[in-house]
Amino acid sequence: MGRGVAVIGAALLVTMVLPGASVSAAGETVDVRLIAFNDLHGNLDPPTGSSGRVTLPDGSTVDAGGAAYLATHVDRLRAEARNSVVLSAGDNIGASPVKSALFHDEPTIGLLNEIGVRASVVGNHEFDEGYAELRRIQSGGCHPADGCQFREPYDGADFPYLGANVTFDDGRPALLPFRLERVGGTPIGIIGVTLEDLPAMVTPEAVEGLEFGDEVEAIDRTADVLDRFGVKAQVVLLHQGDGTEGGGPDDCRVKPGPASEIAAHASPKVDVVFTGHSHQQYNCVVNDPAGNPRTVLQGASFGRLLSVADLTIDRQSRDVVRARTRARNEVVTRDVPPDPDAQRLIDEAAAKAGPIANRPVGTIAADLVRQAAPSGESPLGDVIADAQLEATAAGGAQVAITNPGGIRTDLVHASSPAGEGDGVVTYGEAYAVQPFGNVMQTMTLTGAQLKAVLEQQWQPGATRVLQVSATLRYTYSASAPVGSKVSGITVAGQPVDPNAPYRVAVNNFLAGGGDGFTEFTRGTDITGGPVDLDALIGYLGAHPAVAPPPADRITATP
């Protein structure tokens, strides 16, 4: 069992400060530094392309991220402040590059143990392989199918995974709701809450038997428990986020979304909210329901930023003096020495994964990026959809459609440090693009159902433009009402007949209604296909020097 879990029950008893306990003289304070990151996704190596850069206030960018550099920056921030706590806002693992994913993300957990993470909320990707695997990641033990391929034994996480709003379907807690930390003699309650709509982000079997409750209700309930036991300084790790309108790491031009809504309505007892999930950078102050300002931060993703909140706690009241809170997002620059312990772990993972990860699987003529055109269509999305159509053609597929969230990084033309050469795509690089292992499924939809799928790209609070194969084309109007935006749909150059059947290939995530695309669940005559990664690798191998396709499949009009 991981040491964090082994001691948590005792910690709740030993460190709980009960009302009436002795305190220091009035006016004395203690300074505490909270250091957090979010959405690391197993990025042990420095991420590449746009995923490895941070936008600065002047619009320029700087290379950032890499676990060994992250560890160095954490050590420096800790050395600057005697009372420090390292935290994570979720998605530490899942959708990971091959050096971590080949070993079921055990190397990433080892890294987090080394840098001293004290608590993490569960993100949606912590459930990619289901609840039983999350428990193994937490408590240790070899993988039931693959054994211990990285290190034996695997001891688990030294920190608890938190989820105050995660229960079994009979109401029992499935995860710890909070962790208590005594810092500088003062107790701090760390509450973990993940997104309520997490089941829409994973396959149904991954969360079978679990329920995910309202975020605000869970925060309020847990904050009240902590308060009753005299824990006044409270922090939330929230795996939910907002979008932004650009700016530097400390900008607050957010597009109001779930995180802002939760931060504005959650208990006034909470002093700081670290967010995640949306992979954005912002540093904001949001008034709580009592009208008091509190800090709300997010640090991009992939270890590119560290969110730092410096708190002052009054020893008599045991609460945070909010007026003295100072917060910032620090860039994890690569101009510092890599942490030697972290680098040794990364090198070990590289050596063990290398024979598989560095195997060439195809070539590209230029960068294939997931950055979308104004229409929402991306070069890499086009290639992946074409690959999936080719891989399912034997099952009669006429169209392939994939979700943009399943495309995790760019395919870059420049050679990696492994030295495979410019334009060569390795297994590890392809894996980083499609790491979920989703299985292709081909179903029959009527033309009317196909249009309904495309209309579901516009949902309350989110627009997700599906990536489509070259055989599917359509136009949408940005100003048209939701449900009536799409027109001019053609398949293989022919107008779609609402009553005619069409064979459509999608991954099993979309087939199960993932990302809110529930119309796919009405498909009939479903047949199985290859894993999506195998489809991409097969396509790259069959088509040398793949070039970015023209962005002409989706036409956007006002």
Residues 544 and 399 in one domain: yes
Residue 373: inside a domain? yes
Q: Which of 340, 368, 386 is the last residue of a domain?
A: 340
Q: Which of 276, 307, 340 is the last residue of a domain?
A: 340
Mean pLDDT (whole number) for 479-505 = 97
Residues 432 and 316 in one domain: no
The range of the structural domain enclosing residue 543 comes to 360-557
Residues 242 and 388 in one domain: no
Residues 385 and 527 in one domain: yes
Mean pLDDT (whole number) for 205-221 = 97
Sheet strands side by side (includes 486-491): 494-495, 486-491, 472-477, 554-557
Q: Is the pLDDT of residue 17 over 60?
A: no
- Percent of the chain predicted with pLDDT > 90: 87
Residues 6+ apart with CB under 8 A from 551: 373, 375, 377, 378, 379, 382
Residue 348: inside a domain? no
Residue 351: inside a domain? no
Q: Is the pLDDT of residue 200 over 90?
A: no
Residues 132 and 279 in one domain: yes
Residues 492 and 433 in one domain: yes
Q: Can you tell me the distance from the alpha carbon of 78 to that of 290, in angstroms, rounded to the nearest whole number?
A: 32
Q: What is the pLDDT of residues 124-168, one digit of tens each?
A: 999 999 999 999 999 999 999 999 999 999 999 999 999 999 999
Owner of token pair 């990707």: 125
Residues 497 and 403 in one domain: yes
Residue 461: band (very low, low, confident or very high) from pLDDT cuts 50, 70, 90: confident
Residues 492 and 523 in one domain: yes
Residues 75 and 198 in one domain: yes
Residues 376 and 248 in one domain: no
Bridging pattern class, strands 84-88 and 29-37: parallel
Q: What is the CA radius of gyration of the chain?
A: 24
Tell me, what CATH number does 484's domain have?
Answer: 3.90.780.10
Q: Can you tell me the distance from the alpha carbon of 67 to that of 52, in angstroms, rounded to the nearest whole number?
A: 12
Q: At CA 71, angle to CA 296 and CA 201, rounded to 5?
A: 50
Helix (H) or strand (E) holding 168: strand 166-168
Averaged pLDDT score across all residues of the chain: 93
**Per the structure, how many domains does the chain have?**
2
Residues 50 and 175 in one domain: yes
Residue 352: inside a domain? no
Q: Can you tell me the distance from the alpha carbon of 221 to that of 242, in angstroms, rounded to the nearest whole number?
A: 23
Looking at residue 169, its pLDDT comes to 96
Residue 346: inside a domain? no
Tell me, what CATH number does 331's domain have?
Answer: 3.60.21.10
- Provide the residue count of the chain: 558
What is the torsional sign of CA 527, 530, 532, 536? negative
Q: What is the pTM assigned to this prediction?
A: 0.84
Mean pLDDT (whole number) for 172-200 = 96
Residues 89 and 230 in one domain: yes
Q: How many helices (H) and strands (E) does the chain have?
A: 13, 31
Dihedral over alpha carbons 506, 508, 514, 516 (to 10 degrees): 40
Maximum C-alpha span of the chain = 80
Owner of token pair 């949306």: 278
Residue 202: band (very low, low, confident or very high) from pLDDT cuts 50, 70, 90: confident
Q: Helix-strand-coil percent breakdown of the chain, rounded to 5?
A: 30, 30, 40
Residue 349: inside a domain? no
Residue 345: inside a domain? no
Residue 57: inside a domain? yes
